[in-house]
Chains A and B, each alone.
Chain A
Amino acid sequence: MDALIEARGLSKRFGRTIAVDDLTFSVRSGQVTGFVGPNGAGKSTTMRMILGLDAPDHGTALVNGRPYRSLRTPLRQVGTLLDAMALHPGRRAYHHLLWLAQSNDLPARRVTEVLDTVGLTPVAQRRAGGFSLGMRQRLGIAAALLGDPPILMLDEPVNGLDPEGVVWIRGFLRGLAAEGRAVFVASHLMSELEDTADHLVIIGRGRLIADTSVTDLLGSASNGSVTVRTPHRSEIMTVLAAAGGVVTSTGSETLTVTGLAAERVAQLAADRGLPLYELTPHRASLEDAYLQLTRDEVEFAAGRRGENGAGR
């Protein structure tokens, strides 16, 4: 798996605001990499620096090992959707794609092909100004696909899509990664990436919080719990508490335990000959894991705001 996008020590400040702070990560082929962080975390700025639109104050961003601004036909290497609203409202969808194709010496045939891929063929001759946000997103995705690039970089592509469109784009992104492409998707909602991303680059206030696979992140989450139903509630509670679990009684026969895996709970009960009627592990959701990970960061941010406020 090659690193197709590489950010090394990227930093950018706007006036006194630090937008991106010493950010290092890489995006590999054959998987969907989610780029997650709250609004204002610096995701769009990072993407603009990767595209050479904004110059970093420090650090470098490489695409296929080269700075983006040195690429001669970049659309053949990186497909981008930054802002679906960034269209000339008076231009027809077909012509929006046509000038993009011409700029990178791509045949006009590609325009009709990508319009078909995103399902915009019926409105190809309509002016983009009359498009809904969802249609604009599709047009932006069509533009990103024009050069059949090995890398796709999309900023909040789910924004404005109807439920059908959301399902479509998830499957679509998975398909692109399965073809061996590197897919880099920014979102401020972890839930949007729940079933899509393989890898996550998580940032908060411009800094890297985690660069991890989805599997590792879920595994590291500590608040997985196990629900137990047993006629011997109080005995089991004593045994589990002695083994280090945090046990809460939730009914006459049921209890919830955290800090112990389901297998360990079953073993402890079996050792003492205590029957269990039900044993249900609850896996932490990606959202829980993310919130756990960012909690400190958020608290720190709130504290800092307090300090600033007091200083004024």
Chain B
Amino acid sequence: MRAGPARAMRAEWTKFWSARGTRWTAFLLLFVTVGMTALLASASHTDATQAGQGDDDVVANSLSGVRIGLLVAITLGVLIATSEYTTGLIRTTFAAIPARWTVLLAKVAVVGVVTAVVGLVASLVSFLVAQPVIQRNGYVAPAYPPPSLATEPVLRAVIGSGLFLAALALLSLGVGVILRSTAAAITTLVAVTFVPLIIAEPGSPLLPAEVGLWVRRLGPMAGLAIQQTRERPDTAIGPWAGLAVLCAYAVVVLLVAGWLLNRRDAA
């Protein structure tokens, strides 16, 4: 007899790949991230010709589609939770696996693995697709020496982008469990991700500069810092520290979700 968590993970894995909606979001995560990266890269341009002239982060710019792809990661994480409630399937799930923490753990494993793997492929393909485009648009040595995947900051940014998408999907799973409504969960998550990206961006007139800086440091989107490969005036937080902030949100929200899941009636 397999252990409870192993059985639950197998069941969740089958559930994930046998439902049209969730399977499509996994493919969309790849297509949207790569497609948007290609689009944004083709619109980029620089006149810098000498070393030390420009301060654009060509690695982060080659992973820019992640900022749109994150919407798909949010949807995926939310749907894994809320589709159970909108269809009433949650009662079948809990009747089959009464240990509710185990159910949540299995969902965390499936969402985490799928989004990390797909996210990693998406960020790697994005980087490989965007680099030649960006170089054609003027990002060339000596101002912009070509980044190599074999060097630490570049590799970290690419792998980290996959981890960022996974952490965000897990945060979304937790929010989905707590709110139990697809619309409410997605709205909430878009509010906490896109709104800070807009109102707290450097030079935004909507928030005092100091407040905006702290929002970028301590909001969930601090996780995007994992894409930074050079110090810029708008750098708010270190790469790993930023990703750790997002992970902390995910952990806290998932703990709250599990606690609620365990004590609420299965609606």
Contact = CB atoms under 8 A, between A and B. Distances in A.
Query: How many residues of A sit at the interface, in one of the four size bands?
Result: 35 or more
Contacts of B96: 74-75, 100, 103-104
Contacts of A89: 87
Contacts of B12: 99
A61 interface: no
Contact of B94 (A53, A105, A143): A53
Nearest to B17: A95
A51 interface: yes
Contacts of B93: 103
Interface in B200-240: none
A104 B96 CA distance: 7
Contacts of B88: 83, 85-86
Contacts of A68: 98
B67 to A, nearest CB: 29
Interface in A60-90: 68-75, 80, 82-83, 85-90
A102 B10 contact: yes
B76 to A, nearest CB: 15
Contacts of B156: none
B256 interface: no
Interface residues of B, number: 30
Interface string B83-104: 1000111011111111100000
Nearest to B97: A103
Contact of A91 (B19, B265, B266): B19
B91 A99 contact: no
B20 A53 contact: no
A195 interface: no
Contacts of B266: 48, 53-54
Given A52-B98, A86-B88, A99 B2 contact: no
A87 B18 contact: no
Interface in A216-240: none
A100 B96 CA distance: 7
Contacts of A269: none
A127 B23 CA distance: 15
A103 B3 CA distance: 10
Given A86-B87, A90-B21, A102-B7, 20 more contacts: A52-B94, A53-B94, A53-B95, A70-B98, A74-B95, A74-B98, A75-B95, A80-B95, A83-B88, A87-B89, A90-B20, A92-B18, A95-B18, A96-B18, A98-B14, A100-B92, A102-B10, A103-B11, A103-B93, A105-B7
Interface of B: 1-2, 4, 7-8, 10-12, 14-15, 18-21, 83, 87-89, 91-99, 263, 265-266
